[in-house]
Amino acid sequence: MELKETNEGDVAVLAPVGRIDSSNAKQFEEALLGRLTTTEGGVLVDLSELQYISSAGLRVVLLAAKQQQQKGRKFALCSPSPEILEVFEVSGFNKIIDIHQQKNDALAKF
Amino acid sequence: MAGRASVEMVFEMPAELEELSKLAEAVEGFVEENGLPAKLGFQLNLVLDELLTNTISYGCADGAQCRLEVRLRLRGDKKKGEVVLVIEDDAAPFNPLDVPPPDLDKPLEEREVGGLGVHLVRATMDTIDYERDGGLNRLTLRKKLES
């Protein structure tokens, strides 16, 4: 599981690549939450290269959203595939986390 | 191909998380061979991942030597038929239908971080039945194919 990073102004854009399931969710947790402890600003998780996510990965996304909220920092998701968007919606994440179809739209809200 | 009875895939595996990727490949192969939508492959693999991860991590913990068997059947026409998933294991008795549904209306700071796996399974499949048969857990899950 790779977590790519780019910076757009003071927003860290983190893009998990491939699949996140119970076999590698711990790695994703260490990579994402580890990055949150060193960032000063907002975080956008770009899902465009993510092919699959199970509840083990959803847990990590929720932990990240909570941590950013506690620090008063913005957190959003962008560019999910239709299948992955459905997983987020069924889990009710669209009610508590900003999810944008387009990366540019997401960045405009930071 | 109307009137065709059914095609079936059987996959047996030891209770190891590493086996799940082989199962996922087999499911994707089955979906492709039978001309079913790729989205269905994603959904079936999500359901299997969630249920089998629970069984392997909890039901077969403490070094128990569990065996898992997954049967995936396509019944009837690929446009109007259904897929039937039967999962059997000899792990500790566990009925995932007993897991309480998560509260999806809580604000972010109050949302609990776990408990979504079985919820995803319920939301994805049309019907789920559990039975304890001798020393086996048997889950039967059905999903109608959308035309």
**CB distance A83–B18 less than 8 Å?**
no
**A54 in Cβ contact with B117 (< 8 Å):** yes
Q: Which two tokens stand for residue A74?
A: 């913005």
How many angstroms separate the CA atoms of B87 and A85, rounded? Answer: 27
Residue of B122, B55, B57 whose CA lies nearest to B93: B55
**CB distance A66–B111 less than 8 Å?**
yes
Select the residue of B49, B104, B114 nearest A59 (Cβ to Cβ).
B114
Q: Which two tokens stand for residue B88?
A: 């059997």
ipTM of the complex in this document: 0.92
How many angstroms separate the CA atoms of A20 and A9, rounded? Answer: 28
Q: Per-residue pLDDT tens for B36-93?
A: 999 999 999 999 999 999 999 888 877 668 999 999 999 988 788 999 999 999 999 9
Q: Per-residue pLDDT tens for A97-109?
A: 999 999 999 999 9
CB pairs under 8 A between A and B: 68
How many angstroms separate the CA atoms of A67 and A92, rounded? Answer: 18
Q: Which two tokens stand for residue B14?
A: 């030891």
How many angstroms separate the CA atoms of B108 and A35, rounded? Answer: 20
**CB distance B111–A82 less than 8 Å?**
no
**B57 in Cβ contact with B16 (< 8 Å):** no
How close A37 gets to chain B, by Cα (Å)? Answer: 18
Nearest CA in chain A to B101: A91
In the prediction, which pLDDT does B79 show?
Answer: 81
User: pTM score, two decimals?
Assistant: 0.93
